[in-house]
Chains A and B, each alone.
Chain A
Amino acid sequence: MSARYLPLLTIAIAVLTLAEPAFAHEQAGVAGGLASGLLHPLTGIDHLIAMVAVGIWGAQLGAPAIWVLPITFPLVMAFGGVLGVMRIPLPMPEAVIALSAFVLGAAVAVRLRVPFAAAAVVVGVFAIFHGHAHGAELPSAANPLAYGVGFVVATGLLHLCGIAIGTLSRWPAGERLIQGLGAAIAALGGYFLALSLGAVA
């Protein structure tokens, strides 16, 4: 072997001996539970659009909805989560979750003004179904506590995202944009509702 390859060989040996295993998809323990909890509301598009719509509607309704909503929603959702954890079934969960996206999107699109108590009841009922879907996955998570932290935080941040979008309603053009977004959410919700009822293949 030529001497000019000696440094190259030395480097190759050094790199090989210093090599460490690559953990590209480490989904165990706390990190795994947290990641799956954070991603669960984000990867289900029906959950995602409904949660954003809740935030936007709250912002449209103004006080007290805009601040009562982020405080009470997680608690009501947690009741649904407990039902899911305990494997207590709810009727047609997928259809009701899709319905929530349709109803909340439509409420944003038409800028629906209802008494706060009525809005709270509507959102509360839907929150139980969303919580149930997330909670049902909790016992099988890599770390149930971390999963719970992840999905509560993700849901809260989605609300925050919706509230931030909702602040655009201060401007007429922003209001139209929000109403268009609401219509898109309602259309998607309607599609998911039709899917869950078997109306479309």
Chain B
Amino acid sequence: MRRPIGLSWVAAAALLASAESADAHIVASRLGDFYAGALHPLTDLQDLIPWAALGLLAGSLGAGKGRWLVLVFPLGLLAGLVLGLAFGVGSGGPVAEAGMIVTLGLLLATEMRIPTAFLGVIAFGLALMRGAANWGGVVPETNGLLFAAGLAVAGYAAITLVMGLTLAFGGADAGPPIAWRRIAIRALGSWIAAIGLMMGGFALSS
């Protein structure tokens, strides 16, 4: 029998073209709340921008000062989440959030050598704010423990990766200084501060 080879190709192409991703590990089952906690901040620019700014700042200050954040930041996120869950504490409002972004951006842009303790206070303050804000992702059906674990792991991973990348790119511990790389990091800081400034203005005007 002669096979309709042309039709087989058309059928295969049609099926391939309309293929969808296979959801083999549906996040809504079993450990779904862990993924929900991890993904909630990573899908929100209000988390991503200050987290990235903090990682950049820590990396630009060097591993000696920045390594404390690997512990401080996730713990702060957990503390903020607990405050939100237990007492309904919010993030402090959009003006405070914008102020935090401006502060981080300006510290980066001016390349100010701040003490380790001050960096830790900033990191813990930011983590408290964002942890409390992420409380909004918890619904009555959510397993709070898994959500908190996911959030802390996301915070740990994000800060560690951005800090490590910054150190490798042009941080204080990156070997011989390459002027343009330091300037690129400072320019990024000024972009972050500019974004924060406008968000502050927007928050005040609305």
Contacts and interface: CB of A to CB of B under 8 A. Distances in A.
A30 B45 contact: yes
30 contacts: A10-B11, A11-B10, A11-B14, A15-B14, A15-B18, A20-B20, A70-B187, A71-B109, A71-B183, A71-B189, A75-B190, A77-B194, A78-B194, A78-B198, A81-B194, A82-B198, A82-B201, A85-B198, A85-B202, A86-B204, A135-B198, A138-B202, A139-B206, A143-B45, A145-B46, A145-B199, A146-B45, A152-B191, A152-B195, A156-B191
Given A74-B190, A152-B191, A156-B191, A87 B205 contact: yes
Contact of B190 (A72, A143, A146): A72
Nearest to A143: B45
A14 B11 contact: yes
Given A11-B7, A71-B190, A153-B191, A81 B197 contact: yes
Contact of B199 (A10, A148, A153): A148
Chain B interface main SS type: helix
A19 interface: yes
Residue from the set A67, A72, A148, A156 with the largest chain B CB neighbour count within 10 Å: A148
A74 B7 CA distance: 58
B15 interface: yes
B133 interface: no
Contacts of B11: 7, 10-11, 14
B4 interface: yes
A189 interface: no
Contacts of B7: 7-8, 11
Given A7-B7, A152-B194, 18 more contacts: A11-B10, A11-B14, A18-B15, A18-B18, A20-B20, A70-B187, A75-B190, A75-B194, A78-B197, A81-B198, A81-B201, A86-B204, A144-B202, A145-B45, A145-B195, A148-B195, A149-B195, A152-B195
B49 interface: yes
Contacts of A11: 7, 10-11, 14
A34 B20 CA distance: 26
B4 A7 contact: yes
A138 B200 CA distance: 12
Contacts of A191: none
Contacts of A10: 11
B130 interface: no
Contact of A19 (B18, B49, B199): B18
B201 A86 contact: yes
Contacts of B36: none
A116 interface: no
Contacts of A135: 198, 201
Nearest to B12: A11
B70 to A, nearest CB: 26
B147 to A, nearest CB: 22
A71 B201 contact: no
User: Which of B7, B46, B201 neighbours the largest number of chain A CB atoms within 10 Å of its CB?
Assistant: B201
B194 to A, nearest CB: 4
Contacts of A144: 199, 202
B187 A71 contact: yes
Contacts of B109: 71, 75
Contacts of A79: 197
Interface string B108-146: 010000000000000000000000000000000000000
A139 B202 contact: yes
Nearest to B184: A70
B187 A156 contact: yes
B195 A70 contact: no
Contacts of B194: 74-75, 77-78, 81, 148, 152
